[in-house]
Amino acid sequence: MTDRVVPPPQGRADFEARLRRIGAERYHDLHPFHARLHSGGCAPDQVRAWVINRYYYQSRIPMKDAAFMSRVEDPDLRRAWRSRIEDHDGTAANEGGIRRWLRLASAVGLDPDYVASTKGVLPATRFAVDAYVRFVRDKTLLEAVASSLTELFAPKIHAQRIEGLLANYAFADDSSLAYFRNRLTEAPKDVAFGLAWVLDHADTLEKQDAAAAALTFKTEVLWAQLDALEGAYVTPGRIPPGGWRPGEGLAPARATEAAE
Ligand SMILES: O=C(O)c1cc(C(=O)O)c2c(n1)C(=O)C(=O)c1cc(C(=O)O)[nH]c1-2
């Protein structure tokens, strides 16, 4: 019988560099929809479509974190993870990301109740986001943590977004953009923990491959959401059945204006 030669895992620094390369090559900061949004090239209804669809992602993030925690047996890991749910759902002292996102919805002229209803979310957005929640529920804990590591690349895009939206859109101010400003401090804390956890636990090449594949999968979840927006509201501008149509879900004052 011949011994099977198991290739050794990559060293910690090389493996981290591999994960970062996935972001450099595939993160959604490279998507043309973001370039248009940040440079002021989106019409008001394209911004509204982004806010409506992206709300679906926001709303599912704490659900996927709860699904993750329901599988964790180690109280230390659960303790480290649970602030993610509070960051989005809020606490007595912190309004939380979901309410902040709905403030952005109001600022762009949408009825926050309409946005929170998730009516009008594009089918492809729903499929992509639901696939992320399912991935985290069903895969190994290592893959689940690794899939959150796109947040390594998020502070850069949040900073670009704050700067770009403030420079180019009348709705942008400290209140409407509070969501992104808060993420600038929340995400680095989460991702420092998640990255260290993945580097510690991916102790074979097979596990490293699985973690890298999980991160790649997540970049696809993000990219697919922007492709959905681009196809429905930019080119070819084909809104699928059930997708939000301009004029729907506006804040009451704007709905009256639109009717006049
Ligand atoms: O605006 C963005 O580009 C962006 C990207 C990501 C991401 O990389 O998944 C997250 C967020 N924002 C975000 O605000 C957020 O709370 C968040 C949580 C997670 C996650 O996977 O647990 N990703 C992200």
pLDDT for 220-236, tens place per residue?
999 999 999 999 999 99
Q: Structure pTM?
A: 0.95
d(CA 97, CA 72): 24
Residue whose token pair is 């990219």: 223
Q: Is residue 171 part of a domain?
A: yes
How much is the CA Rg of the chain, to the nearest whole Å? 20
Banded model confidence at residue 258, pLDDT cuts 50, 70, 90: low
Q: Is 149 in the pocket of ligand 1 (CB under 6 A)?
A: no
Q: State if residue 221 touches ligand 1 by the CB under 6 angstroms criterion.
A: no
Given a cut of 90, whether residue 256 has pLDDT beyond it is no
For range 123-145, the mean pLDDT: 98
Tens digit of each residue's pLDDT (9 = 90 or more) over 11-47: 999 999 999 999 999 999 999 999 999 999 999 999 9
Q: Is the CB of 219 within 6 Å of ligand 1?
A: no
- Examine the pLDDT at 196 and tell me if it is beyond 60: yes
Total number of domains constituting the chain: 1
- Check whether 60 has a pLDDT greater than 70: yes
Mean pLDDT, the chain, whole residue set: 95
Dump pLDDT digits (tens) for 136-159: 999 999 999 999 999 999 999 999
Give the rounded percent of residues in the chain with a pLDDT score beyond 90: 94
Domain that holds residue 64: 12-255
- Distance from chain centroid for Cα 233: 20
Domain holding 52: CATH number?
Answer: 1.20.910.10
**CA atoms of 135 and 63, how far apart (whole Å):** 12
Element (H, E) at 141: helix 141-147
Instruction: Tell which residue, 210, 166, 146, has the closest CA to residue 38.
Output: 166
Confirm whether 140 is domain-assigned: yes
pLDDT higher than 70, residue 255: no
3-class secondary structure, 110: strand
Which tokens belong to 3? 């011994």
Whether 6 is covered by a domain: the verdict is no
The ligand 1 atom at the shortest distance from the C-alpha of residue 151 is 8
Atom of ligand 1 nearest to the CA of 180: 14
Q: Is residue 2 part of a domain?
A: no
Cβ of 34 below 6 Å from ligand 1: no
Q: How many residues does the chain have?
A: 260
